[in-house]
Structure formats: structure tokens, C-alpha cells
Amino acid sequence: MFDYVLFYRDVRRPRIEVCRGVIKVVVPKGFKDVDDFVYMHRGWIEDKVRCLKELEVIARDLVLYDRDDIREVIDRYVREYGGVLGVKPSEVLFRRMRVRWGSCNFREGRIIFNRDLRFLPEGLIRYVVLHEMCHLVVPNHGRDFWRLVGRFDSDYREKEKLLISYRFRLDGLGG
């Protein structure tokens, strides 16, 4: 069995979150069968733990870049993908984000990019722009969204893994 941290919250359904060395179990208030719930999902938990460990190993060998022209690079890709997707963000902002590489407010058409993108290789920066621009068309991470992303980047699954590894590297968890 796994050690986990239990949270009783005002949620409808129980969920398990596997984060860097911590298994969080979030359940509705009054939920009784926490151990059974965790046991039922042990295979999924083991897969997630193994995957995160593999990504931490990958992170050790990643090279960090330090681009001064990150705004120009992102603006170029926003224009490129805007042309092919037929969308244009109302605003493009840059912030330091702890977890995400970017975010999109679909209703307002605003995209925010993480300033840490400057440490990534250009191919990953391009992918993050594609990902956020696709959210201007499809606001969620459903099947239609990934199908749209896949039209422009068939290797998006690998890029998603690399983005996690780069986050580990930047957070000092990859060595």
C-alpha cells in the first residue's frame, strides 16, 4: 500500500493526485472507504510514480537556454499559428508561473506565457504557443483539442513529457 496525504474537501468525486514524491487523495467530506479507493487505483498510482521518476531522470541531462528574445520568438509563433488557425489573441502577457508554461482565457482571448519559456529550446517554445493558440479554438483538453494540436504537431505527447522534465530541471529536482 502507498503512503498518502488525505484531504477532505467539498468535492463531488474522490480523486488521486500523484505529485513529485507525494500522493494526495482528495475525497468528499464523509467519504469512508479511502483505503479501498487507493487500493483500487494502485496500478494507476504505480504507473504515475514510475513515469515521474523517469521524467526526473530525463531532467538531469536537459540543457537550459537563456534567451533574451523570448517575446519576439513567441510573437512570431503567435502570428504564425494565428494565421493558420484563424484566431488572434486579444492580449499576450508574460508572467512568472510556478507550474504552467502558459494559460489561455478563452472568453477574453487572452494568453499568458511563463517567463521561464526563455530557458527552453525553441521547438518546445513553439509547441507551447501552438498549445495555447489551439485553446482559442477549443477551450478544454478534450479529444477535439488534442486532435487539433496533433494536426500541427504529431509529436505533442513527447513534448508534453519534455515540458514536465524541464519544469523538474528548473525547480532543481532533476539534478
pLDDT tens for 80-120 read 999 999 999 999 999 999 889 999 999 999 999 999 999 99
Decide which of 60, 78, 95 is a domain's last residue: 60
pLDDT at residue 172 in the model: 81
pLDDT at residue 160 in the model: 96
State the pairing for strand pair 15-19/22-28: antiparallel
56 in the same domain as 74? no
The answer to whether residue 137 sits within a structural domain is: yes
In the predicted structure, residue 9 carries a pLDDT above the cut 70: yes
Report whether 93 contacts 111 (CB < 8 A). Answer: yes
State the pairing for strand pair 22-28/5-9: parallel
* DSSP notation for 19-54: ETTEEEEEEETT---HHHHHHHTHHHHHHHHHHHHH
CATH of the domain at 135: 3.30.2010.10
29 in the same domain as 88? no
Number of domains in the chain: 2
In the predicted structure, residue 173 carries a pLDDT above the cut 70: no
Decide which of 20, 39, 60 is a domain's last residue: 60
Percent of the chain scoring above 70 in pLDDT:
98
Report whether 6 contacts 27 (CB < 8 A). Answer: yes
In the predicted structure, residue 141 carries a pLDDT above the cut 90: yes
Indicate the helix (H) or strand (E) that contains 94.
strand 91-95
The answer to whether residue 50 sits within a structural domain is: yes
- Report the chain's mean pLDDT, rounded to a whole number: 94
Among 18, 104, 5, 108, smallest CA distance to 56 is for: 18
86 in the same domain as 13? no
The answer to whether residue 125 sits within a structural domain is: yes
Q: What order do you get walking across the sheet with 110-114 strand by strand?
A: 91-95, 110-114, 102-105
Decide which of 40, 60, 80 is a domain's last residue: 60
The answer to whether residue 116 sits within a structural domain is: yes
24 in the same domain as 75? no
| Containing structural domain, residue 38 | 5-60
CA–CA separation, 56 and 53 (whole Å): 5
Q: Note the pTM of the prediction, 2 decimals.
A: 0.84
Report whether 27 contacts 11 (CB < 8 A). Answer: yes
pLDDT at residue 91 in the model: 97
